[in-house]
Chains A and B, each alone.
Chain A
């Protein structure tokens, strides 16, 4: 479906719809510019007909160029492999727009973010509390992602107000942001009636580093190293998403060889994280033997990473236009030999867990996220697949995955067990994919070309182990980054966690949390 078809199907629902501009910006990106008056309706119609949650919703400060803020909403049309970007210009005097949040839940957090970072008010959003700029640190009236923001202007500080659940026998249990384990900081505010959880409010933003601001003004070639540091357990996926965006801007096409290499490393990253989470779930229910076993497998994968790339976490591997290291015959043997052993160990691990009644009793029917809730919240990635939503960028935007006959995994349960089983089957599938890719690696060396950047924007995306990692990039005529918007799958899925735990008892929360295993740094940016 090209741009015209999209427009005609919008017109079926909105007869007097007119777009200011419709453009096929890249082979997989349709750009639609509309006036602020019909932005909300357009977004809602797209949300309904595609159907897609809003994958990104973000503002760009273009006041220097046109005296306006631009707000973009990104939707994905999975069946046609198209990203649809709806854009509008908001005049800089009294910036505001009609909130989408009441009709489309997945827009809520993005609107709060636009409000706190740019001071553009989403009129009608019921919740405009700030997320990453904490009221205890940032006085109101500071909008750091505006281009003219220099330093924090101090006025009064206030306190964050949590949602209150009232009633006889309701207790509040605040947990965090400092936890007993070595994990990121997040504050969990439980309201409980006895042990069962009535409400959970998650407050994040403690690792806000201003990553998006850091990108601004940097050349793409340097910034890819910054992209790797956004979320440490996802560093390769981030570098791929960023590289794809930059390659689209500069009009480069990477060689098939490089695409296979990226596939191999993406799957290696998925494997070590999946087995780490499986071990983590075992730890959280006090099942120490399989936890130790999973740690061994993870270590074997990390050592394989190091042998292949000299980096356990696959950093400094990706460059714009390809991959900086190559896999020769000797490395191929290392891959096959290591995978053989890893596969055997993993099968053993699955067997131990599947045959343990005490373990299965803990994970089965715990932390259920039903399909309807997941769809309404715009849940993505692994968690969505566990709730029965068939969404995987590797299937719909396959690239080299097509040649390897990639098989998407879904489960219907939506509970911890489903998320565990998704990890089981994705791990095995990743093993197969790596072997397939390695066999297909041809000897034609990719040639390094120096990318030429121009003033343009593009969306980079890839399916990381948690879900789609998105990176929208805009460069100026010198090739310097004007704006880089990152969306981690965690941003969508943190809300899913606070719904999945409802009705579960407090001691089961760590297990539910581990089955999601979301990123703090990827969310807080």
Chain B
């Protein structure tokens, strides 16, 4: 019973906190531009608005277009269940593998790319091809990072490094590589630009241009949760934290505070990169992810050398 409650709690935790991170990043960006900007809770209002709206589906769209939002959100939420937040030891233990996470994410992305092609709009096609181009470069780099984690912890299972492990050179380099990958995966500057209105420059946004109402809400929700999962994984590697030592309430409170603060720190860094850097030319992304690949290799070598 407790386990089921914990699983349920973990899902709620991700769904409730995730939009706030995006709202926070937008808020920081606006403040640094000397603007007041929208409320940090705007992503919640947007979701509520979209959920209460009807949707328009193109006449030429097939079933793929309709099922994709559900596949995307369920793939992301599945991953949310596989990372150790509340469920430190549980029935999903053996499934929480980093490689599994990569490919569950890939499932959602694959269907999103198909759905974008489905309606036959020219922007959707451009978005899909760019997304596939970027993800084909992300995955090898990501595999190298996973490899370095395997060298350090002897396993690619995420639950292995959920404890309070020592921070090594390998894990720092690995976390940096993972951070750059997260930027590409969550379509942020300098790889993509979530706030742009220019259809011709979009990557992720171009794929979801045809979606509206509830379907769009599901896809946006999925993006928020996915972003939070990435932040969480990075935090777990670079700011490791063990389960609270005692069960008394004040200790739990401070533990929870630090737990969340780690994620916020990463969100702040992302926000400042968004302000300080221009978006890259599309084909420059190959150089950028090539650099990430090298970082991954360095992390792996460090891990082999044991530093």
Contact = CB atoms under 8 A, between A and B. Distances in A.
A497 to B, nearest CB: 14
A288 B31 CA distance: 12
A289 B276 contact: yes
Contact of B278 (A286, A366, A509): A286
A284 B279 CA distance: 9
A219 to B, nearest CB: 43
B195 to A, nearest CB: 8
B198 A288 contact: no
Interface of B: 29, 32-35, 122, 125-126, 189-190, 193, 195-201, 274-284
**Interface residues of chain B: helix, strand, loop or mixed (majority):** loop
A172 interface: yes
Contact of A171 (B125, B190, B275): B125
B200 A358 contact: no
Nearest to B275: A289
Contacts of A358: 190, 277-280
Given A174-B122, A289-B276, A507 B281 contact: yes
B282 A507 contact: yes
B283 A505 contact: yes
A384 to B, nearest CB: 26
Nearest to A509: B200
A506 B190 CA distance: 17
Given A286-B196, A289-B32, A506 B126 contact: yes
B189 A286 contact: yes
Q: Of residues B198, B274, B283, which shows the largest number of chain A Cβ atoms within 10 Å of its Cβ? A: B198
Contacts, number: 78
B198 A510 contact: yes
A510 B201 contact: yes
Nearest to B280: A358
Contact of B200 (A289, A296, A362, A507): A507
A287 interface: yes
A362 B198 contact: no
B198 A284 contact: yes
B122 A282 contact: no
Contacts of B29: 288
A505 B281 contact: yes
A-B interface, 4 closest residue pairs, ranked by CB to CB distance from nearest: A286-B279, A287-B278, A292-B33, A180-B197
A136 interface: no
A508 B29 CA distance: 24
A181 interface: yes
Q: Of residues B196, B278, B284, which shows the largest number of chain A Cβ atoms within 10 Å of its Cβ? A: B278
Contact of A508 (B32, B199, B281): B281
B191 to A, nearest CB: 10
Contacts of B199: 175, 179-180
Given A175-B199, A286-B193, A296-B34, A359 B278 contact: yes
Q: Of residues B29, B32, B122, B275, which shows the largest number of chain A Cβ atoms within 10 Å of its Cβ? A: B122
A450 interface: no
12 contacts: A173-B122, A181-B197, A195-B283, A286-B190, A287-B278, A292-B33, A361-B278, A361-B280, A361-B281, A362-B280, A509-B200, A510-B200
Contacts of A287: 277-279
A507 B281 CA distance: 8
B198 A180 contact: yes
Contacts of A174: 122
A356 interface: yes
Given A173-B126, A362-B278, A362-B281, A289 B198 contact: no
Nearest to B189: A286
